[in-house]
């Protein structure tokens, strides 16, 4: 949302040259074999609202495999050191989509901000995108993060200044990522587990199925704040589920 506003009102890019592109991590929403586990159900309506409000063309794309399928294939959940959720279901999907265009110049704008994490602060603000192809393809793709230095309150003020509503998920979480993102705080995870109890139970069962847990450290605050944590943690130890690379909630 913020990047689109910057493109329109900051860089003054003509509307006909701007495309809104969203990558679904749960895959094809019409495929009954793919559970809509990580995408926020409000996102589709919000994207349509944003497209109409800004008068911008919208593209919603996804990969052949959903995030759940990737997790089961790898036998593990994503982590801060191995964020295959981003690489497989977002970055690679976008790259494949862009490669259909030749003889063009593309500027990708994304909304990462330095305030969100040390890792994001260390990333470059401007670079070539992997979809770039010289020679016969003649595809130039630059990647810019125009709100990298902005603070959260500045992003909210930007939206308010132009009368654009925020995604509904901000009522429960601080970042518009997956509803069960590995970086959600304990409080945020508690809220989303209450909002989507069936998906929450399904996610817990995935831990048993994989013999692998989603969170990393046994003493992290999240364990103390989810109401059923004590019994769940006790049962895991009792039944010998290994904590390994991650940890349960």
pTM of the predicted model as reported, rounded to 2 decimal places = 0.85
Whole-number Å distance between alpha carbons of 187 and 145? 29
Given this model, what pLDDT does residue 211 score? 86
Helix spans in 1-78 (H) = 2-5, 43-54, 67-74
Backbone angles phi, psi at 172, to 5 degrees: -120, -25
Question: Is 145:112 a contact under the CB 8 Å cutoff?
Answer: yes
Residue 32 has pLDDT above 80, yes or no: yes
Cα distances (Å, whole numbers) of residue 121 to 104, 113, 145, 149: 30, 7, 11, 9
* Residues 180-203: b if buried by 16+ CB within 10 A, e if exposed: bbbebbbebbbbbbeebeebbeeb
Residue 58: strand pairing partners: 20
Question: Is 44:28 a contact under the CB 8 Å cutoff?
Answer: no
- Mode of pairing for the β-strands spanning 57-62 and 126-128: unpaired
Number of neighbours of residue 170 by Cβ within 10 angstroms? 13
Residue 241 has pLDDT above 60, yes or no: no
Q: Across residues 30-50, what is the average pLDDT? A: 97
Q: State the chain's maximal CA–CA distance in angstroms.
A: 61
Residue 243 has pLDDT above 50, yes or no: no
pLDDT band at 231 (very low <50, low <70, confident <90, very high): very low
The per-residue pLDDT for range 68-89, each reduced to its tens digit, is 999 999 999 998 889 999 999 9
Question: Is 24:62 a contact under the CB 8 Å cutoff?
Answer: yes
Give the orientation angle of helix 197-210 with respect to helix 67-74, to 10 degrees: 20
Q: Is 175 exposed, middle or buried (0-12, 13-18, 19+ CB in 10 A)?
A: middle
Whole-number Å distance between alpha carbons of 52 and 116? 29
Given this model, what pLDDT does residue 52 score? 98
Tokens coding 238:
């009792």
Four-point Cα dihedral 220, 224, 228, 229, nearest 10? 40
pLDDT band at 240 (very low <50, low <70, confident <90, very high): low
């Amino acid at each position: 949302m913020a990047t689109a506003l910057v493109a329109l009102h900051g860089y003054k890019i003509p509307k006909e040259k701007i495309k809104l592109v969203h990558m679904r991590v749960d895959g094809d929403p019409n495929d009954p074999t793919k559970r809509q586990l990580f995408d926020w159900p409000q996102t589709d309506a919000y994207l349509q609202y944003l497209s109409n409000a800004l008068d911008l063309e919208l593209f919603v794309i996804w990969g052949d495999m959903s995030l759940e399928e990737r997790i089961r294939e790898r036998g593990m959940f994503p982590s801060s050191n191995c964020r295959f959720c981003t690489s497989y279901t977002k970055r690679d999907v976008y790259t494949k989509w862009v490669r259909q265009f030749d003889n063009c110049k593309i500027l990708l704008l994304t909304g990462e901000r330095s305030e969100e994490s040390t890792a994001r602060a260390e990333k470059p603000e401007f670079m070539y995108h992997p979809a770039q192809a010289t020679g016969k393809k003649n595809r130039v793709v630059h990647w810019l993060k125009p709100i990298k230095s902005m603070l959260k309150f500045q992003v909210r003020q930007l939206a308010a200044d132009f009368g654009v509503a925020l995604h509904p998920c901000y009522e429960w979480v601080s970042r518009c990522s997956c509803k069960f993102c590995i970086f959600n705080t304990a409080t945020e995870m508690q809220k989303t587990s209450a909002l989507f109890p069936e998906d929450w139970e399904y996610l817990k069962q995935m831990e048993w199925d994989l013999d692998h847990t989603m969170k990393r450290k046994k003493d992290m605050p999240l364990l103390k704040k989810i109401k059923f944590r004590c019994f769940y943690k006790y049962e895991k130890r009792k039944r010998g589920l290994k904590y390994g690379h991650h940890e349960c909630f």
